Structure 1
Amino acid sequence: MFSVKNIFSAVIVCISVQISAQTNFDPLPYVNPFIGTSNYGATNPGAIAPRGMASVSPFNVAGRIDLNPLEKDSQWLSNPYVHQNQFLTGFSHVNMSGVGCPDLGVIITMPTTGELKTNHIDYGTKYSEETAEAGYYSAKLDKYNIKAEATASTRAGLTRYSFPAGKSNILLNLGLGLTNEQGAMVHVISSTEIEGMRMVGSFCYNNAEAAYPVYFIAKFSKPADDFGVWKTPYKYEGEEAQWMTYNGKTRIKEGFTREVIGDSIGAYMTYDFKQPEQVEVKIGVSYVSIENARENLEREVSNASFEEILAETKNAWKKKLQVAEVEGGTNDEKTIFYTALYHTQIHPNILNDVNGEYPEIATGKIGKTENTRYTTFSLWDTYRNYHQLMSLLYPKEQLDMVRSMLEMYDENGWLPKWELNSTETFTMVGDPAAVVLADTYLRGLTDFDIEKAYEAMLKSALDTTENPLRPGLKEYIENGYIGVDTDVEGPVSTTQEYNIADYAIAQLAKNLGKKKDYKTFLKRSEGYKKLYNPKTAFLQPKNSNGSWYKDFDPLAGANFAKNPGYIEGNAWQYLFMVPHDIDGLKKLMGGNAQFESKLDDLFAKDQFDMANEPDFAYGYLYNFISGKEYKASQRIHQLINKYWKNTPGGIPGNDDTGTMSAWIIYSMMGIYPITPAEPVYTFVTPTFDKITLHLDQDIYPNKTLMIENKSEGKDTFKLKIDENFVKKPLSEFPISNFPKKIYFNQ
């Protein structure tokens, strides 16, 4: 499929130092928010502003509250929208994108006509004529002949409902959501205004005691003819299941303007239109207070119309996405690229209100920031490539993310692991924050308290008493690995994750002149070697006494099945997850030939998992086999063509808050940050003829980084990189001496 000559077409990478005019290129036509809304991608096509706290997503998880979540496939529960579902029950106003566990999906509005109904099964409807763009969503609600449209500012969601003549209703349902925590308050202030709050926080259906409120204020553009509230009793069906079913008749109170508190409550506005009318609903949100939600709404939206906010949001998206400009390639390829870039600008998202206030983690206090407090740190995923991409394309955002992580350390005493709205979910394994902090600093983004960061990293890496980030740390330090006979989940995977974090600490220690720490953590980073069994040629579970786990099966654990040694994968899928010591792994395997053969087998035996983060770098590892570098380009392009499509199922699994999208962006550009906490890239042939990255000149000395792909009919890979951007200039390399790593100064 790929000839050597085509694979090693000339790739010229140069840096422009001239000041040029801002690009007029418009990337918005190439954003398709439906990509990832099927095939477990877990994105939604709703309206959101870049890094928005609020978003407006169609909610089509029909009947969720009547089903036991413990018996359901999580695909149908982790996000408010799945493309193949066809039953709409409203529009939720705080949501997550691309995550594998459910939370949020609350403050749901729903327009209806005719008799007032408050049971979502009764009032839900099929829909058609869906449209989604960056910052905009619309659909026709078939049962009611209503056109519903949505847009958003950073902290407010806006919907516009076009009603036919006759009796119409707008429901505000505080009982529905993606998880089972309950508790809400609603207060109808007047015929045009409702305020309240909804409890959220049962991420992955656990830690319900850590639930917290999200506050809101809703304003309606037309006064209602009637309004009121409702409350529906629920009961628990068994202590173990902890799920809820309807039990009793809904109580509706008309003209009620006092507060109503309960588990399954809502409010409504009703209208009697003499002719077709439009009603706009503006909902401001806050995680601090109703007063702050009101201020957020007033400061960001005020009296602006739906069209005015839509124009502002689309312009904001345009500016964000103009950071990369691609030439060549098909329309589908451009759409895949820019939609991925769009997805990377959703999470981490803004947590602080317009006045700077936000809920602190663990303290119960309200903090205040002069910068931006970010939240939704899915760090087990994002440490591998996402934050490196942010450092390159959005360095100021990355710096604020790092500062947010250090604020969490001040508040909580620990760095985050998987933080959401100032709660720690402790999802997944490892110590990923250490990698992000070290990597950011070593890429030249040093405008944060590095001594505090280093202190926090050492605490996670050395504290063996009740360490929430590194369970099993004492044994890991003593033995160099975690035994399968401990209570630590996935001891092989966890050992590898600790190794990578220790390598990151070592690299930062070296940069800071802390020689003793450098040697200590570099040695610790090689602990994976103690888990390599030359007889099976795998990294495999080992008991604490040094004996091998007897029932080892390298195939067990695929597709999220349980395995005593690994997390969400099997021995094949974790074998090559040693990005910090590829040469060391090659040596264990017996050299280049054995390494190549095993890598070939991974793909040939269908054990490579494109949807699983540990495997992300595997296609690039051929660059580390002298003379076989061409296989990297072959493999990466095969993966791109197989797994990424301009369709709802066009992401091969959870986008994981932009991590999957970061992979495809890098891979289509032809570069990849192969080693966490090293400012290096490895190369393959790009998808596009030319990529121009418009750099932030407040951070970088160069205005643009250009990657140009030109075939000259030579069996060589040409690289020309400005000396200001790399440690030494590079020109031309034959196949036998391909540059496996390019070190960037930044």
Structure 2
Amino acid sequence: MRNGYGILFLLLLFHLAVPAQEPVDFVNPFIGTSNYGATYPGPVRPWGMASVVPFNVAFKKGAENQFEKDSEWHSRPYVAENKFLTGYSHVNLSGVGCPELGSILLMPTHGQLELNPEHYGSTYQDEVATPGYYAHTLDKYSIKTELTATLRTGLSKYTFPQGQSHIILNLGLGLTNETGAALKILSETEVVGHKLIGTFCYNPEDVRPVYFAIKFSKPATNFGAWKKMPPFKGVEAEWTKYNDTIKPYPQFRYELAGDDIGAYFSFETENEEVVYAKVGISYVSIENARQNLQGEQPDFNFDKTRQDARLTWNNLLKRIKVDGGSKDDKTNFYSALYHTLIHPNILQDANGEYPLMEKYGTGNTSENRYTVFSLWDTYRNVHPFLSLVYPEVQSQMVKSMIAMYKESGWLPKWELLGMETSVMVGDPATPVIADTYLRGIRDFDIQTAYEAIKKSATAPDSVNKLRPGIGKYRTLGYIPENHYENVWGTVSTSLEYNIADWNLAQLAKALNKKEDYRNFLKQSASYRNYYDPSTGMLRPRMEKGEWLTPFNPKAGANFEPVIGFVEGNAWQYRFYVPHDIKNLIKMLGGKSRFIKELQLCFDDGNYDMANEPDITYPFLFNFVKGEEWRAQKMVNQLIHKHYFDGPAGLPGNDDTGTLSTWLLFSMLGIYPHCPGDMSYAIVSPTFDKVTIALNANYYPGKELTIEANKSSKNAIYIQNLEVNGQKYNRYFIDHDTLVKGAHLKFELTETRKP
């Protein structure tokens, strides 16, 4: 017995000695770094301006195991399969589909100084990544690199071997289409400058500088600037030796500007000596970059910065507490939550200054000014998710959008660092603002917001920067094919306008603007003009009403270009009227036909999990009584097929958190099937229990609880549901019910409800 008590005592001590796992411990930043997920594993704070990311997309392994220039079109600074590193970039985008940023690269080296990245690059091993921290060892130099970040700064820790060590600044490498830069070495420990970024998705109007200030913890014994020499045309003899070579400028103290430039700092190091490099970022000025660095990183306290980053992440992640489920389930969930909270990110400096929207000049704010509004993606689920779980952040994002309108005259469409890139289609700011207001977040200037929304919906073609094709859209009820050169995908664009108009109508109704409500509600139903009864599809048509011929509903799959549609085909847009599904059901021939065709969308390979317009389709089965089990089955299948703990564990571009947010809602068992509609579609939750802490400044309830009692681990079908202790027979639930502090209790079985 005494031995038994001893074993129990030891087990108790072991249990007490092992700390409980926090949400941050389940995050795998490597998820999405393959399969074109376009995420990165480097450290960043929630909604942070700066990030420090291993940059490995400049070269790839080619013939005879040699590294050669990577010709692939990269929209991400890091790819899991690539293993040749050329530095660590300090401004980056997560999950986007076009190359941008990935700039201001630092690279530690050892031995003879080499300034060509093809030669100084190195493979690496022993990668580790957690929120706020990344580390690996460079094979070529035996240098251990560790990275962390604050909101506006990056901090690198390089553990060097004995001998001559170097830190190289490369302003030529990066993802941006711009190559111009300028720098000035101020001392043996400091270099400042700027790098041009822009032309996102080849929009020629988008160019602006990102400023930096870099300080080292140890004075360099030698330093200098360098530039890549361009080919000399018509010059013979000795000048040809400079063609496409890199020329150093030792002890250079003047400002150096141009394409493909950089600097180097050399140190005599002892074995395992640590040299730190800290980088401050600003989109306003070098002085602001230096102030950001001084305010957020006054010294080189790596351990404190790393721990602060971890704590910051954990405090936000634990707003949702999950119990039960497998370790992989928790990893997938919290990694998705982590990715959802990277963008939009702050733009203002520590002193409140930020670049004005679409104009030269500087604004100042006492609140957060957000940027990177990938709205064609995020209006569908990211912003409704933020409204539910982080309403204080969503409120400031809407305030940022309204401020952009005041500065530029228009709401953002796909805004990047105060520049309107005009990427993608539709009028996506409208559903974001309307949805936010209708969910009860109302501490922003709704009158100015409504003015901005209505302007985009009514301004004529000649001046409308948000809605090309609006003239024919309003007079004909559709955008005719080949009438407008500046309209990409007439059907897709019109459907996006329909959703925006429906949201505008709902907002008008809430504001008691009755005439606007009637007019925009009617306009939101104009998708019916695209319905072709002979094919059962929404089909492009010409100005006189004739259908586009020939027409293949499957053409345009896998993001291939096709007339009438944007990143999809007729099948993938067939059910894309989330604001009017009941009438769509009638138009397609009734409930039975609708279910048959919707199921065929999945069974016949027409559904694309990585394509935003159809990501809501699994939840549409809930609109037909008795068929809700299909949604429960389909969502479960899609989760297990496309999301997993590994670099390829996202189905495609995360699109600044959109695909991650799909997973979050799906695992919770609720999904916002249409922005502006205050109901969520109900499916089977993944976890035994989920507790969401609600913000008391916005919502009356203390917490939202979702429980699931499962007959087995394979139980995915809803047998019974109770809401606040009362039997609940619907498969939609109102936002207002949830934020009052609802308790949802599911009974799940392996067989569907008869």
Regarding TM over 0.5, the answer is yes
Contact 1:716 1:732 in 2 (8 A): no
Which residue of 2 is the match for residue 101 of structure 1? Answer: 98
Which residue of 1 is the match for residue 66 of structure 2? Answer: none
Which residue of 2 is the match for residue 671 of structure 1? Answer: 670
1:744 to 725, 736, 746: 736
Which sits farther off after the overlay, 89-98 or 477-486? 477-486
Which sits farther off after the overlay, 172-181 or 445-454? 172-181
CA shift for structure 1 position 304 = 4.6
1:192 to 186, 189, 194: 189
Query: Per the alignment, in what secondary structure is the counterpart of residue 48 of structure 1?
Result: coil
1:213 aligns with 2:209: yes
List runs of 5+ in structure 1 lacking aligned partners.
1-22, 238-245, 723-728
CA shift for structure 1 position 485 = 2.3
CA shift for structure 1 position 720 = 3.6
Where in structure 2 are the equivalents of 1:201-240 lying within 5 Å? 201-207=198-204, 209-234=205-230
Contact 1:102 1:205 in 2 (8 A): no
1:375 aligns with 2:377: no
1:34 aligns with 2:36: no
For residues 632 and 141 of structure 1, do their structure 2 counterparts lie closer, same or farther at Cα, with a shift above 3 Å needed? Answer: same
| Aligned residue identity for 2:200 | F
Within 1, Cα distance between the matches of 2:21 and 2:176?
41
Within 2, Cα distance between the matches of 1:470 and 1:45?
37
Query: Per the alignment, in what secondary structure is the counterpart of residue 129 of structure 1?
Result: strand
For residues 94 and 534 of structure 1, do their structure 2 counterparts lie closer, same or farther at Cα, with a shift above 3 Å needed? Answer: same
CA shift for structure 1 position 669 = 0.5
1:401 to 390, 397, 400: 397
Query: Per the alignment, in what secondary structure is the counterpart of residue 610 of structure 1?
Result: coil
CA shift for structure 1 position 546 = 0.8
Contact 2:280 2:293 in 1 (8 A): yes
CA shift digits 1:19-70 (9 cap, x unpaired): xxxx986111100000000001000000111111000000001249x9xxx9
Where in structure 2 are the equivalents of 1:654-665 lying within 5 Å? 654-665=653-664
Where in structure 2 are the equivalents of 1:606-617 lying within 5 Å? 606-617=605-616
Contact 1:717 1:732 in 2 (8 A): no
Within 2, Cα distance between the matches of 1:505 and 1:454?
8
CA shift for structure 1 position 73 = 4.3
Where in structure 2 are the equivalents of 1:576-615 lying within 5 Å? 576-615=575-614
Which residue of 2 is the match for residue 568 of structure 1? Answer: 567
CA shift for structure 1 position 696 = 1.2
Contact 1:53 1:350 in 2 (8 A): yes
1:166 aligns with 2:163: yes
Query: Per the alignment, in what secondary structure is the counterpart of residue 571 of structure 2?
Result: helix
CA shift for structure 1 position 717 = 4.6
CA shift digits 1:392-441 (9 cap, x unpaired): 11101000000000000001100000000000000000000000000000
Which residue of 2 is the match for residue 62 of structure 1? Answer: 58
The count of residues paired between Structure 1 and Structure 2 equals 699
| Structure 1 vs Structure 2 CA RMSD | 2.0
Query: Per the alignment, in what secondary structure is the counterpart of residue 633 of structure 2?
Result: helix
For residues 24 and 140 of structure 1, do their structure 2 counterparts lie closer, same or farther at Cα, with a shift above 3 Å needed? Answer: closer
Which residue of 1 is the match for residue 418 of structure 2? Answer: 422
CA shift for structure 1 position 623 = 0.6
Which residue of 2 is the match for residue 124 of structure 1? Answer: 121
1:721 to 717, 720, 723: 723
2:244 to 232, 241, 248: 248
For residues 235 and 514 of structure 1, do their structure 2 counterparts lie closer, same or farther at Cα, with a shift above 3 Å needed? Answer: farther
CA shift for structure 1 position 626 = 1.2
Where in structure 2 are the equivalents of 1:70-109 lying within 5 Å? 72-74=71-73, 77-109=74-106
1:328 aligns with 2:328: no
Query: Per the alignment, in what secondary structure is the counterpart of residue 673 of structure 2?
Result: coil
Within 1, Cα distance between the matches of 2:198 and 2:274?
34
For residues 540 and 378 of structure 1, do their structure 2 counterparts lie closer, same or farther at Cα, with a shift above 3 Å needed? Answer: same
Which residue of 2 is the match for residue 13 of structure 1? Answer: none
CA shift digits 1:118-151 (9 cap, x unpaired): 1110111111111100010011100011001100
Where in structure 2 are the equivalents of 1:225-374 lying within 5 Å? 225-234=221-230, 247-374=243-370
For residues 397 and 25 of structure 1, do their structure 2 counterparts lie closer, same or farther at Cα, with a shift above 3 Å needed? Answer: farther
Contact 2:321 2:691 in 1 (8 A): yes
Query: Per the alignment, in what secondary structure is the counterpart of residue 575 of structure 1?
Result: coil
Within 2, Cα distance between the matches of 1:202 and 1:128?
34
Which residue of 2 is the match for residue 642 of structure 1? Answer: 641
List runs of 5+ in structure 2 lacking aligned partners.
1-18, 63-68, 234-241, 740-754
CA shift for structure 1 position 679 = 1.6
Identity of aligned residues (%): 51
| Aligned residue identity for 1:160 | K
Contact 2:683 2:731 in 1 (8 A): no
Within 2, Cα distance between the matches of 1:46 and 1:621?
37
Within 2, Cα distance between the matches of 1:92 and 1:118?
17
Which residue of 2 is the match for residue 431 of structure 1? Answer: 427
Contact 2:200 2:206 in 1 (8 A): no
Query: Per the alignment, in what secondary structure is the counterpart of residue 572 of structure 2?
Result: helix
Contact 1:443 1:678 in 2 (8 A): no
Which residue of 1 is the match for residue 381 of structure 2? Answer: 385
Which of structures 1 and 2 has the larger relative contact order (alpha carbons within 8 angstroms, sep 6+)?
1
Within 2, Cα distance between the matches of 1:25 and 1:496?
45
Which residue of 2 is the match for residue 243 of structure 1? Answer: none
Contact 2:101 2:175 in 1 (8 A): yes
Structure 2-normalised TM-score? 0.90
For residues 149 and 302 of structure 1, do their structure 2 counterparts lie closer, same or farther at Cα, with a shift above 3 Å needed? Answer: same
Within 1, Cα distance between the matches of 2:674 and 2:559?
26
Which sits farther off after the overlay, 479-488 or 533-542? 479-488
1:155 aligns with 2:152: yes
CA shift for structure 1 position 695 = 1.2
Contact 1:234 1:264 in 2 (8 A): no
Which residue of 1 is the match for residue 746 of structure 2? Answer: none
Within 1, Cα distance between the matches of 2:331 and 2:673?
25
